[in-house]
Amino acid sequence: MLVAVIASGCGGSQDGAAPTVETPQTTVTTAGRPPAPPLSGTTIDGESIALGDFQGRPVLINVWSSW
């Protein structure tokens, strides 16, 4: 009986609507920081990409090596 009560509370909505997700707005302050150096390369799909393509948006660059 206890299992049925717990499982019945996990069903969620039956209206078929997708859940809404609100994205918080981010403010990036660049005062006092030098601009990032030009950086470009090729994606794993063979397309060219440059850091300048993301100007005005936060970018995380993960650099690693297997050695």
Residue 65 pLDDT > 60? yes
Query: pLDDT tens digit string along 9-25?
Result: 555 555 666 677 777 77
Do 40 and 54 form a contact (C-beta atoms < 8 A)?
A: no
Query: pLDDT tens digit string along 45-60?
Result: 999 999 999 988 888 8
Residue 5 pLDDT > 60? no
**Per-residue pLDDT at 15:** 62
d(CA 61, CA 59): 6
